[in-house]
Each structure stands twice: as structure tokens, then as C-alpha cells.
Amino acid sequence: MFRFGERNSRRITSMLIAFALVLSTFSFAFAEEGTVVKLELVEKSALVFLTDFGLKDGAVSAMKGVAFGVDPDLRMFDVTHEIPSYNIWEGAYRLKQTAEYWPKGTVFVGVVDPGVGTDRDSIVLKTKEGYYFVGPNNGLFGLVAEDMGVEEVRKIDANKHRLKGSEKSYTFHGRDIFSYVGARLASGQIKFEDVGPKLDGEVVMIPYQKATIEGNTIMGNIPVLDIQYGNIWSNIPDKLFEKLDPKFGDEFIVEILKEDMVVYKAKVPFVNSFGDVEEGKPLIYYNSLLNVSVALNMDSFAETYGVSSGPEWTIKLTKVEK
């Protein structure tokens, strides 16, 4: 008589569990052709959230609950929910900062939406590499559009795509429209083309100082602070800065302006890391994104000198000739 054996039983159980895990990353789409039914596997994407809601109430949980109701097998993650209230610019930067590290096909739901319920458009933006951004067309997706390029933008048809029973709700599109559409897109229940018509207009951009170089002076924007430590991050990439042929130990005149008002001006050395200068002294360095940054060793540059971030902030660095 054939005996199955405990070892074989464990092996088959492990194989079945692995198979189930693989299937959990796919949706099934059925297409009927005459009398033949065709089964298609649609790979699911990660669903990633960014908001200015904070975590003190149930708003984020409600959004995720909607997504879970669409597909309990969706993989959901967060960029952050601590964007300062109404700060569209910082939300845009955090998406730019993180999106490229996620796999192609990832669906981002972004909600920093002071104009919720007005005539601003609800959109899904598809980048040239196949990332998707779901949310308001208010500048939140402007930086990823610049960086990644835009394949196409569609306006969400809210008559077809919104949480059932939410028709009278005008102030929580994050839950009623964006999370719902994002979840259906990530799970493969709808295709990008099903979202709605092509956007009749442009992706909204927030104007800011692009990184430029003229002579021995380089100029850029302060898009965001390194919040934990008060360091000043710029949008000046290392490749552009290297056109000034900087060497560790070289000094630069650093000017920081809010609009036309000079907030800080001093001579600062370019160094490898914080400990290369004395405690409390300023330094220029490359941050983790390989952009030019300014800091105080073991102190907050932002608090010490009253510097913040946003499209109205500019930084200039002029190389001091020896």
C-alpha cells in the first residue's frame, strides 16, 4: 500500500502556500468570446498613500478601508501622512523624492487638497515609465511630471468611479474618489484608459527657481528641509555643482533668500561630511540624493538662521577664488 509520508506532505503544503502567495499578487480578468471564456492574469501593483491628514483621526484608516474593500489582497504602503496642512509644494517634493525607488506600475494616491469640492480636476497621471499618480490637479504631481515625464493624463469620471453612497460628500475625495480609483487601478479591476477622458489642459505646475549656473555662481531652490536636523536641502545636483570644479576644503559665499530678501550670507567650506568642521560651524555637503546642501554640525541651520523651504526660497553659492 502506498504511504504518502510526512515529509512529502509538508513539501506539498509548502508548495501550495507559495502558489497561493503568488496568486495573491494577481487579479483574474474574464473575457467572453462567443462561447469561449478566456482567463487572464493581471499583475497587481503596490498602492502607496501620501496625505496631509496626520494620524490623529480616522481619515487615513478610512481611505485604506475603502481600498481594502475593493481588494483585500492589495499591498498598501505610505510615503507619509505628515505633510504640513495645505502644503502642496512639500507633498509634491516628497512624491518626487520617493517615487523612483518603487517598482514601475506602482499606484500613488496623493491628497493635499485645499481646493477639495471646487472645480479643480481629479486626475490620474501616467508617467513615461508606467507609474500612476491619483489625486487633485493642483500642483501636487508637478515635480514628478517634470522628473519622470508624462505619458498621458486622464480626468476621473466621478459619475462612474467613486465609492458607492458617497455622492453627497464633497469634502473627502481622498476616500470617496482617489483611494477608490487607486485601489481599482492597482488591483487591475480597471485599466488606465477606463478612468475617464483625457485631460483637456495641462498638469498644474508650481513655479520655482530651477538649478542654474552662471560664471562661478550656482543658484537653485530650497525645496524641503531635512526636518529632523534642520539641514538645508537644495535642488542643485552634484553634476551641475561639479562644473565649478569644487574640491573638499574650497570655500563658497552662500546666500539664502526668501523672495528678494537676503536671510543668510556667509563664507562656508565644501566638505565630505559633518564632522569635517567644528561643532556649530556651517558646511556645504552632498545629501543622500546627491544634491548640494548646507548644515551646521550638530545644530539646526534652519532654526538658527530662520530659514524654511518652498518655491519662494532661493540659494546661491559663489566659489571663492584662491
Q: Look at the domain 42-194 and name its fold.
A: Rossmann fold (3.40.50)
Q: Could you give the CA distance from residue 235 to residue 107 in angstroms, rounded to a whole number?
A: 25
pLDDT given at position 206: 96
pTM over the 0.85 mark: no
pLDDT given at position 141: 98
**What's the pLDDT tens digit per position in 49-95?**
999 999 999 999 999 999 999 999 999 999 999 999 999 999 999 99
CB 315 within 8 A of CB 255: yes
pLDDT given at position 14: 54
Task: Evaluate if residue 32 carries a pLDDT over 90.
Answer: no
pLDDT given at position 38: 44
CB 293 within 8 A of CB 276: no
pLDDT given at position 20: 47
For the residues 200-216, what does the mean pLDDT come to?
A: 95
pLDDT given at position 11: 58
| Lowest mean pLDDT, pick from 4-8, 96-100, 207-211 | 4-8
pLDDT given at position 173: 97
Task: Evaluate if residue 254 carries a pLDDT over 90.
Answer: yes
Residue type, 67: A
**What's the pLDDT tens digit per position in 38-49?**
444 557 899 999
We find that the CATH architecture of domain 212-319 is: Beta Barrel (2.40)
Antiparallel, parallel or unpaired: β 132-136 and 150-155: unpaired
* Residue partners of 242: CB distance under 8 A and separation at least 6: none
**What's the pLDDT tens digit per position in 165-174?**
999 999 999 9
pLDDT given at position 190: 97
Domain with CATH 3.40.50.10790 in the chain: 42-194
pLDDT given at position 33: 46
Q: Could you give the CA distance from residue 274 to residue 295 in angstroms, rounded to a whole number?
A: 8
Domain with CATH 2.40.30.90 in the chain: 212-319
